Copies of this chain bind each other. A is one copy, B any other.
Amino acid sequence: MQSKWIWYRGDFEFYHGLKLHMRRKEFGADYPAFWNQPNVYPTVTFMKTFHTDTEGYVKILACGKGYVMFDNTYRFNVGQDIFFGEGDHTVVVRICNTSGLPCIYAISDTFCTDRSWLVSPNTEDYINAGDSPEYTEPDKTPETFPFAYRKITPESIRTREDGVLYDFGQETFAELSIENAVDTEDFTVYFGESAEEATDCRNALLFERLSGKMSYRLPACAFRYVFIPTKLAASFAVSAFYEYLPLEDIGSFECGDKLIDRVWKVSAYTFHLCSREFFIDGIKRDRWVWGGDAYQSYMINDYLFHDNGITRRTLTLLLGKEPYSQHVNTITDYSLYVIMGAYNYYFSSGDADFIKFILPRLKALYKFIISNLDGRGYIVYRRGFWIFIDWADIDKGGANAGEQMLLYKAMLDMSLLCEAAGEDGSEYKAAAETLYGNIQRDFWREDRGAYVDSFDSGLEKVGRHINVLAIMTGAADEEKRALILDNVLKNDAVPPITTPYFGFYELDVLCSCGELEYAKERMRSYWGGMLKLGATSIWEQYIPTEQGAEHYAMYNMKYGRSLCHAWGAGPVYLLGRYFLGVRATSPGASTFEVKPEPGGFDKIMGTVPLQDGYVYVEYENGKLKVYTDKEGGSLVLGNKKLALKKDETLTVLVEL
């Protein structure tokens, strides 16, 4: 019996989401996120009934002000010892907090605070409380996020004419520590993901002006290099505290191709750095939570940590709560990715409890989406709606095909989410079927064997994005997929996708069509290209034709590019999903499939996590070994399907 801090479920995410989204600084200026964010419920009631056969006591701790009502009769102070006799009891704790997260913790010999408590925003609408395994100590409240810290020191310290440059050897996210400073001197610390950035004091994004202290521990930020432009720094003792979430790598991959093996490792490290309170896009610049980026992170997470907590936190935050008057991150497609992400999470985890919790919010968001469709049932532009899809030349005149395809998938997923929660989802399924027909009728071009971006505009443009989405969302059937592959994806005349964000979807779709060699070459050239330039984490974007510091520029800023971006970690997913070939085939991976494909590598070996288990795959020289500690697996070899036994290694001699 272990008490945990408990709160109104979901509010932990809103509280830390707000803190995260107001933490961004650029060029010394605060830069909070521009979208609407929900606040926590400031007034919360916690309730528990219990039975005890002996006498006992309890003391309730809280963040906020409030009282404890025992057996509906006696009112006690927070922090006061309450003694009770044997029998049935009811504890109601009412907390108000105007500046933090209302939460409580029980110290008792009889019962504990945990998610079995009921909680409401002082209404009769009770749900189960939120808790987390990290918050079991009375003095570690959920108002502080439970990051771990590890001391790191510079790998090299170089004294220059104009100051001292510290190189921590690789990209990191850390609280810089300075000791032996001179308390009377003002100085500034410049951070850089590159040495160029750190030493370019006029253009560095991140810096801190300091004065008046002998020692400093600065707010955590992203850097590899630190530059202090004063000779005084020679006497400073500079180190840092790496701030991280201690997530365990379950996934692994090796193929003997040293470049690809390093691509996997650096991708995994990149993903660690971007997996924090939530899945953030990158660690230097905005450090915000974006529905589209996060959707890719859910997929990568499934093949690296398989950590359900961070996916739940991210989905809860992005989903927000009623009333809805804005799309997720203001972007129409991102609302749809949140619904799709929720189903992806359910399929990966089998966690129906979480789906039951978020379903009312998902339905309210869905209702908001639907209430803004046009007369034909299509998503169209409205004031304040950002029809994004990608930074690319996509025809967004009128109804865009990609938005409708995502809506189709979201409708299907809503129906499956309802079923997961034990509710009827047929309404959503029916809507999906109608929309499916309309998409084929309005956007498919039989003569071109492809979907057009838009038909309202009359431009009849065929591009990669929409046809990638057609395959990804299931809007294209088997026959159309084949046509798209030939006419669009493998057609060099169609302009390439240039962003790594959408490049991830394209690679996913190509791999799902069996084009593993293409993916391998792409990983070698694109990801490998960055590593050859010395990258220690995967960048937001890499354009091989750029030179030197050109690689660091973006968004009209000399060092605007993030050199550590979550979507760059795609290879972790691609190598596990398509090369090791492991995927769940029913919710929670109660059944799963292993279909290894060397894809041009001499050997492949590695691990893929699953809900409550994992699979190890090894293939070399015609010998395939598959081990799993989980029931329900099958090995798929061509048309054959072999059952995998729990805790046993299946060895097959086969040419893959």
Residues of A within 8 A of B (CB): 15, 18-19, 21-22, 26, 28-37, 39-43, 45, 64-67, 75-78, 80, 94-96, 98-100, 121-125, 322-323, 325-326, 383-384
Contact = CB atoms under 8 A, between A and B. Distances in A.
Contacts of A28: 77
Contacts of A15: 98
B67 A42 contact: no
Contacts of A121: 36
A40 B98 CA distance: 9
A32 B325 contact: no
A31 B98 contact: no
Nearest to A100: B99
A615 to B, nearest CB: 43
Contacts of A95: 32
Contact of A323 (B29, B31, B77, B323): B323
A80 B37 CA distance: 26
| Stoichiometry (number of copies) | 2
A77 B67 CA distance: 41
Nearest to A15: B98
Contacts of A29: 67, 75-77, 80
Contact of A40 (B39, B45, B100): B39
Contacts of A37: 42-43, 96, 122
A383 B120 CA distance: 14
A30 B325 contact: no
Contact of A43 (B36, B77, B325): B36
25 contacts: A21-B43, A22-B65, A22-B96, A22-B98, A29-B67, A29-B75, A29-B77, A29-B80, A30-B66, A30-B78, A31-B67, A32-B43, A32-B66, A33-B43, A33-B122, A34-B122, A36-B43, A37-B43, A39-B39, A39-B40, A98-B99, A98-B100, A99-B99, A123-B384, A322-B322
Given A18-B96, A29-B67, A39 B42 contact: yes
B21 A123 contact: no
Nearest to A40: B39
A375 B615 CA distance: 58
A123 B65 contact: no
Contact of A96 (B32, B64, B96): B32
A31 B75 contact: yes
Contacts of A122: 33-37, 326
Nearest to A64: B22
Nearest to A95: B32
Nearest to A32: B96
Contacts of A96: 18, 21-22, 32-33, 37
Contacts of A80: 29
Nearest to A121: B36
A65 B32 contact: yes
A362 to B, nearest CB: 15
Nearest to A326: B123
Contacts of A99: 98-100
B19 A98 contact: yes
Q: Which of A98, A122, A323 has the largest number of chain B CB atoms within 10 A?
A: A98
A35 B22 CA distance: 30
A40 B35 CA distance: 15
A80 B29 CA distance: 10
A454 to B, nearest CB: 24
B32 A94 contact: yes
Contacts of A35: 43, 122
Contacts of A65: 22, 30, 32
Contacts of A31: 67, 75
Given A29-B67, A30-B66, A37-B42, 20 more contacts: A18-B98, A21-B96, A22-B65, A28-B77, A29-B80, A30-B65, A30-B67, A30-B77, A30-B78, A32-B43, A35-B43, A36-B121, A36-B123, A37-B96, A37-B122, A39-B40, A39-B41, A98-B100, A99-B99, A323-B323
A103 to B, nearest CB: 15
Nearest to A101: B98
